[in-house]
């Protein structure tokens, strides 16, 4: 394991058994717990987490893609402490400097007509608001999302989340329909030149130069939905530039560009869900939609925006923003002084520490090394991603693409944890490792990760 000079404080709290008893008896039973022997986290420092026994782990999941610049990053921590000593909270009905300073700094990361922001507290809230904006602005109701998409589990956003694992049996889908997910690995179309990644699928590709047959076929599916499943005019279309919970799925190049064209022809607005892909994680660009060559009408963001502090935002055009003045819209905690101070510090760290370049260089290196594991091990079916948003899909065999059973996936996953590496899981079948670390990781961390994964795959046999 790469060295770390940081020494965690000695833990003096309740025992692990007492913690797990309280968790079982007093917290919601729907709460998922990672690992057979749950990790009881005591302290974090940059890319590292320490358990109550002082053991160190390399965090490659970043609190579900939330810790963007590092656990307890000193610059962000200092900004939070400074603001908390001055003013914790007042609502935005009053005028205070931090929300205006942060809004100006955040909007400098956008170009064109994306000029107005709303602040909230979570990704679900942001997507909820984006849905409302689309419907109020267009005067239309129907929204289209992709199958396998995850956009939140509030009653409103559950309508655009298309992943049965997360759906409750309640009426949430009125005015929400899904189109085929343009997955070039597991979907019916796709090949070895289709996606914007240094690692492609191993499927044969018969696309000619500059034209992607898979893209055209998936766009045809969207057009079919527009023709048969919704009215002549729609409210909008929402998609993550790279699907997060769905397993780091990348679409064919130009898919979003052509999808946006169809949606706008029907009067709809285009929403980019940047909750997981935003804030330099793609490496090549600050936002995932930029890497896709599109300009959305509405952008939602959360998670990495606050490095773990509850904060989210919706950015849109002045015209769309003005639509919400038909009634009062307000968020008590959205854009509170502490959140804005933290968000501002996160932007500073990303710029000052060249984290976009780091995500690009280390992500490219990691993807190429993971591709070597794919070529070596039969159960590694696909490696995909961009920057430090990476997925590794496990299968029974490369030819069948049958998802590796969850107990087998968990065996590899648990082995990685026991060797000191924490990795997320996702995909519809739970067979995709989600690697989305804090962007402060080093090349030594990446090499360690590859060595651990290799050993875990060898142990699996």
Sign of CA dihedral 296, 424, 284, 180: negative
Lowest-pLDDT choice from 175-184, 202-211, 259-268:
202-211
Could you tell me which of 269, 28, 30, 242 has the C-alpha nearest to residue 137? 269
d(CA 387, CA 365): 9
User: Which among 343, 252, 263 is positioned nearest to 295, based on CA atoms?
Assistant: 263
Please tell me the distance from the alpha carbon of residue 438 to that of residue 142, in angstroms, as a whole number.
36
pLDDT by residue (tens digit) across 318-331? 999 999 998 999 89
Give the C-alpha separation, 62 to 71, whole Å: 8
Element containing residue 35 per DSSP (H, E): none
Q: Residue 162: its pLDDT value, please?
A: 96
Give the list of residues 6+ apart from residue 106 with CB closer than 8 angstroms, or none.
Answer: 117, 313, 315, 343, 347
Structure tokens at 455: 């050993």
Confidence of residue 391 (pLDDT cuts 50, 70, 90): very high
d(CA 343, CA 79): 9
Q: Which two tokens stand for residue 23?
A: 């968790």
Residue 211 has pLDDT above 90, yes or no: no
Q: How confident is the model at residue 91 (pLDDT cuts 50, 70, 90)?
A: confident
The CA distance from 332 to 89, in Å, is 10
Residue 6 pLDDT greater than 80, yes or no: yes
pLDDT in tens, 10-45: 999 999 999 999 999 999 998 889 999 999 999 999
Share of the chain above pLDDT 90, in %: 94
Cα(419)–Cα(460) distance, integer angstroms: 14
pLDDT of residue 44: 98
Q: What percent of the chain has pLDDT over 70?
A: 100
Residue pLDDT, tens place only, 269-287: 999 999 999 999 999 999 9
Q: How far apart are the first and last CA of the chain?
A: 23
Q: Please report which confidence band the pLDDT of residue 333 belongs to, taking 50, 70 and 90 as the band edges.
A: very high
CATH 3.40.640.10 domain span(s) along the chain? 78-352
Radius of gyration of the chain measured on its C-alpha atoms: 22
- As a whole number of angstroms, the distance between CA 261 and CA 43 comes to 47
Q: How far apart are CA 357 and CA 365, in angstroms?
A: 12
pTM of the model: 0.97
Three-class SS state of 83: helix
> Two tokens at 413?
């996953």
Q: Is the pLDDT of residue 208 over 80?
A: no
- The β-bridge partners of 57 are 49
The hierarchical CATH code for the domain 78-352 is 3.40.640.10
Q: Which residues pair with 120 in a beta bridge?
A: 312
Lowest-pLDDT range of 128-142, 182-196, 204-218, 355-369: 204-218
Does residue 209 have a pLDDT over 80? no
> Which ranges of 285-430 does DSSP label H, i.e. alpha helix?
288-291, 318-322, 337-352, 355-376, 406-418
pLDDT in tens, 58-77: 999 999 999 999 999 999 99
Host H or E run for residue 117: strand 116-120
The CATH 3.90.1150.10 domain(s) of the chain lie at 16-65+354-460
Contact 172, 124 (CB under 8 A): no
- Residue 89: left if φ>0, alpha if ψ -120 to 50, beta else—which one? beta
The answer, yes or no, to whether residue 256 has pLDDT greater than 80, is yes
Report, as an integer, the average pLDDT of 413-424: 98
Handedness of CA 316, 318, 324, 330 (dihedral sign): positive
Query: pLDDT value at position 92?
Result: 87
In sequence order, the β-bridge partners of residue 254 are: none
Please name the residue ranges forming H helices in 139-241: 213-228
Report the candidate in 219, 217, 220 with the shortest Cα–Cα distance to residue 206: 217
**Domain at 16-65+354-460, CATH from 3.30.70.20, 3.30.70.250, 3.90.1150.10, 3.40.640.10:** 3.90.1150.10
* Least confident range of 78-82, 93-97, 176-180, 267-271: 93-97
Helices (H), 197-294: 213-228, 255-265, 288-291
């Amino acid at each position: 394991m790469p060295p770390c000079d940081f020494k965690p404080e000695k833990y003096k709290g309740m025992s692990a058994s007492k913690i797990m008893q309280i968790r079982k008896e007093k917290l919601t039973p729907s709460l998922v717990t990672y690992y057979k022997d749950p990790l009881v986290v005591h302290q974090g420092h940059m890319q590292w987490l320490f358990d109550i026994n002082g053991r160190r782990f390399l965090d490659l999941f970043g609190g579900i893609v939330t810790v963007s610049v590092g656990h307890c990053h000193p610059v962000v921590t200092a900004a939070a402490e400074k603001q908390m000593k001055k003013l914790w909270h007042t609502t935005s009905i009053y005028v205070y400097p931090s929300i205006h300073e942060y809004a100006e700094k955040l909007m400098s990361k956008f170009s064109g007509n994306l000029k107005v922001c709303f602040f909230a507290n979570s990704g679900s809230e942001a997507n909820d608001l984006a849905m409302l904006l689309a419907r109020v602005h267009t005067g239309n109701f129907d929204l289209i999302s992709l199958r396998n998409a995850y956009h939140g589990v509030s009653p409103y956003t559950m309508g655009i989340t298309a992943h049965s694992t997360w759906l409750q049996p309640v009426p949430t889908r009125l005015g929400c329909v899904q189109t085929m997910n343009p997955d070039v690995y597991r979907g019916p179309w796709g090949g070895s030149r289709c996606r914007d990644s240094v690692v492609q699928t191993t499927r044969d590709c018969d696309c000619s130069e500059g034209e992607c047959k898979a893209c055209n076929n998936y766009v045809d599916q969207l057009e079919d939905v527009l023709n048969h499943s919704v009215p002549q005019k729609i409210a909008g279309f929402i998609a993550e530039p790279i699907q997060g919970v769905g397993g780091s799925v990348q679409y064919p190049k130009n898919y979003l560009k052509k999808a946006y064209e169809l949606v706008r022809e029907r009067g709809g607005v285009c929403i980019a869900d940047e909750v997981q892909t935003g804030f330099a994680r793609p490496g090549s660009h600050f936002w995932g939609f930029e890497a896709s060559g599109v300009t959305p009408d509405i952008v939602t963001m959360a998670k990495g925006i606050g490095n773990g502090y509850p904060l989210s935002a919706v950015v849109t055009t002045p015209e769309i923003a003005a639509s919400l003045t038909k009634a009062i819209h307000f968020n008590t905690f959205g854009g509170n002084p502490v959140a804005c101070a933290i968000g501002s510090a996160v932007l500073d760290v990303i710029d000052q520490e060249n984290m976009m370049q780091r995500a690009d260089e280390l992500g490219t290196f990691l993807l190429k090394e993971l591709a070597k594991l794919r070529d070596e091990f039969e159960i590694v079916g696909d490696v995909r991603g961009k920057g430090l948003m990476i997925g590794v899909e496990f299968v029974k065999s490369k030819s069948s693409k049958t998802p590796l059973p969850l107990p087998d996936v968990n065996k590899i996953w648990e082995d990685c944890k026991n060797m000191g590496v924490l990795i997320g899981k996702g995909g519809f079948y739970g067979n995709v490792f989600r690697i989305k670390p804090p962007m402060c990781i080093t090349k030594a961390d990446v090499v360690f990760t590859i060595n651990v994964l290799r050993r875990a795959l060898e142990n699996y046999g």
